[in-house]
Structures are given as C-alpha cells and as structure tokens.
Amino acid sequence: MRSGSLLTRLALCTSSVHAFYPFTPKWLKDLEEKTGLDSRDDGAVTYGIRRHGSSQPSTEPSSKVAAREAGRLAQKYRTGDGHDGSDVAKRSGNKYSVMEAEDPDTSKTAGIDQDGTDYSYFIEVRLGSEKKAMYMLIDTGAGSSWVMGTDCSSKACALHSSFGSDDSDTYKDAGQDFSVAYGTGEVKGELFTDTICVTDDICFDYRMGAANDTSDDFEHFAFDGILGLSMDSGSSDNFLDVLSDSGDIDANVFGISLHRATDGDDNDGAITFGGADRTRYKGDITYVDVDPSTTSWVIQLDDVSCDGKGSGAGGVASYIDTGTTFVFGPPDLVKAVHAVVPGAESDDGTSYTVPCDLDMPLTFIFGGTGFDVSPRDWISPKDSDGVCTSNIYGQEAVQGAWLLGDTFLKNVYAVFDADEKRIGFAARSDDAEDDDSSSSKTVTPAPATPTTGTYAPTSTADRTGSSEAETTTSSEGGGDSSPDKPASAGTSLTLGLSELALPVCLAAAAAFGLF
C-alpha cells in the first residue's frame, strides 16, 4: 500500500461502509444552502429546481468527512469475496430537491436526474403492476440493487418514496434477507421479485431488495434506492445479467452522459441501454480493456497532465464510478498531479487549495487519448471564506488505485461494455441537444477508435478487488434461483475486517479523536 497520512490509513482500517456516504466539503455545504450556484468569478448562476423540502448537509469538518468517505469507498471496493416542477407528476413520499432530466427522444434511454449540485445522479424507474415511480442512484460501483420498503421505519425512509407488496399485484417475496454494511450502520431488508421498468421500452422481472432499515446517512440524498450497474454479483440478482437475458437489448452495453448543474435548466443527462447514443458524442470512442482479474469497472490510467505537463500519476488502476462524486487517489499520486497545477497548495496532502481564477483543464489520459476535465468541475466554487479547492483528493479510497467519479464523468460520454469487458470514452457532443435530424433516434453500436488500450497490471501487488460488503441469508434455508439464471454463488460475502484487526483499528482511531 502506498504511504499516506495516518488519518487515511485509519479511515481504510475502520471502514465497513458501502455505496453513497455523504462527503461534504465546505464549498458544497455552502452551495447546498443557496438556491443558486456561485461561480468562481462571483457571477451568479441560477437554475430551476423542484424542491420538496430541505436536504441536510453534514456539519462535520471536511478532513474528518473526507477520511470517512475514503473508508466508505474502500469497503465498496474491498477484496473478498433545474426545473420548477410545474409539469411533473406528484411523487408521494420523496421530500428532496431534484433537477429533473429532459425526456429523451432516443429508444431504450432514461433521463438522468440529479440533486442540483452534481452530487448524485439517479433515474426514475417504475416498479410493479402499478408502475410506481422510484428514484434509484445509478452506481457502476455497486453489484446490488434495492429500494426503500414500505415496512421501513428509519428516519431516512420517512423522507423518501417506498415500495412494497401493497403497491403491486405482482410483488413476490423471495424468502431471503439481504444486508449491505455501512460504517455507521447498514441497509437491510428482504429480497423480492417484481417488474422493473428502467425506460418506457425496457421492462422485465427482477429480484432486488426492499430495505426495512437504512442508515441515517440516506437522509441527505434524494434517491430512494440504488441501481447496481457493476459486473459484480451482490445481494440481489446482477442487474446487467438479468437485463441481457431479458431480450430487451441487443448488447450488454450502456452509455452515460451526465449533466452539469451550472450549465442551466436543460438537464440533458441520459443513460442508454444496449448501446451508445451517437448524438451525444463526437469523434471516435477510445476503449480500454477492463482489468481481467476483476469484475469491476476498472481500467488503467496512463497519466494526468495540466497545461501539457505530465504528472507521472498514471500506470495504475482507475475505478470508474458513477456513484462517487469526486476523484480520489493515493496521496503521492495526487501530490504529483497538483505539482503541475500552478498555485496549488496543501497543508495535509489530502485537500488542495487552488487559485479561483485558474482556467486550465486537467487532462486524464486513457488508451493514449487525453480527455479534458473542465476547471468548472475539478475546481470548486468559492466557499464562504472565498477559497477554492481541488476536487481531486489525496485519499487512497481504493488501495493503490485511482477512483474517478462524476468530476471526471461529466466531461465525457462513457460507454460500459460488459460483453467485451471494456470501458470507452468519447468527447461529448456540443450540439447533441440540437440534433433534430430524426424525431425518433435509435441505439446503434458504438465504433471503436483505432487506439484501443489494454489493461496492464501495475506494480502494486495488493491492489484491491471490488466486491461489496454485503450478505444474503435465506429465511427458508435456501434461495430460489431466478427463472433464467441460477442463484449467484456469491450470496454470502465477507463483511468488514477480521475479528482480530477490527478492535485494533477502532482503538487507534479513538486515540486520534476520530470518533
């Protein structure tokens, strides 16, 4: 493992968390408390947003929350196993702010909603015979899918929409419990099978979780559950496998385009299942093979540069995760990146301040092709003290590897190809929303650029895998397999740390005032 701060190592040691944990830097907390976004040059940028109620940002110091976020992500990849709402139908239960996406005009495509701060991205799915609407986070780092159940009594569930047997005539209890571990609790409940519609033209029977107990962390977020888009097997049936077997798509591929809130009300974010939407990118797609030793969406990063100056921060694994907001990396690699950024400074090697008027992209290089990340994304707006920070954090959330979240993904069109085990990136189309050549666009196979990269193992021998921390137990002594697919062999996975290591880690963390 690369050397890092004691805080980082303790965060990794004590982690027992998964999926979406609130990492709220000071600038984001300030932003959440406003109705508009302040740009770095103090110009006001506003957007329309459907507000159901107030979100509840974390009040913890950024350094402590950053460490806990790294711990959450470490467990997630642990080895072992704006709009005013005037034209929106009412959704009972959910109390949060949502910047809803435009209705896509491409087949097999769902609009990607967000919370108005680029913090979380989710789609509205329809469940059961009554097609009840639920928001589900799109998470390429999760193998399990679940929604909040009607029997849930947690505080977070009271603020969200829920789903249960009373909502559908076709609801079938699977007779199995599921549990997903968190550092501050867990999500647990029962598996069920019912119809899920992720687009108007993609509906199929799917076994997933109905949570009856959730961590209070979910009070902070608008989504009602998580849609696992990893190739991993989790507590629920693997979504991509079941989708592929349904016959609704020709290829086990999906393409994603995320909207940036400061670009205005016209949220054109979308996910297309079965292929790539040619109108949303320009040029060729550069594909890089996924690490063959894992079922995660992980590829090799060549380098990160600024103003043409390479940092030498590449040659290691990079996890591509729609369920992560920012970018995390080993402290020494993050330091190398900021060494080529004019005016970047850090007191702790974790968080870096940068000049607010810096107008340079960071270039992430994959398969020999560079993809620019706009300063609008990698540099934060000013916080209440007038300080701008980098959204590239020196936290080794995944041991010896980069973790690239939405800070990066907002700048590319991303294609996740489960058939060929590869990830592709292309430049976003600047005029995709103006393409009216066809009133009904179809999904077409995405052409690959001639520069297709191959995953090359790094020298980090102890790079982690990517299984979730979760368990599935049967209340009937055994789980039924789905009609088209046998039950997953990974229905019982290792949780957390060993009994010996955990007390040591907790004691060390307590000694340094982390609790």
Q: 435-465: string of b/e by CB count within 10 Å (b at 16+)?
A: eeeeeebebeebebbeebbebeebebeebbb
How far is residue 221's CA from residue 37's CA, in Å, rounded to a whole number? Answer: 18
Residues forming a β-bridge with 366: 369
Q: Are the C-beta atoms of 209 and 146 separated by less than 8 Å?
A: yes
- In one-letter notation, the amino acid at residue 112 is I
Question: Of the listed 113, 115, 118, 139, which one is catalytic?
Answer: 139
Pick from 259, 261, 258: nearest CA to 45? 261
- C-alpha distance across the termini of the chain, in Å: 25
Residue 487 DSSP class: P
How far is residue 401's CA from residue 319's CA, in Å, rounded to a whole number? Answer: 7
SS (H, E, C) 87-117: CCCCCCCCCCCEECCCCCCECCEEECEECCC
Separation in Å, CA 454 to CA 8, 286, 301? 31, 11, 11
Q: Catalytic annotation on 200?
A: no
Q: 411-429: string of b/e by CB count within 10 Å (b at 16+)?
A: bbbbbbbbeebbbbbbbbb
How far is residue 101's CA from residue 266's CA, in Å, rounded to a whole number? Answer: 7
404 is written with which tokens? 């690239």
Burial class (CB in 10 A: 0-12, 13-18, 19+), 150: middle
Q: Catalytic annotation on 245?
A: no
The four Cα atoms 418, 188, 20, 398 give a dihedral, to 10 degrees, of -60
Catalytic amino acids? 139, 321
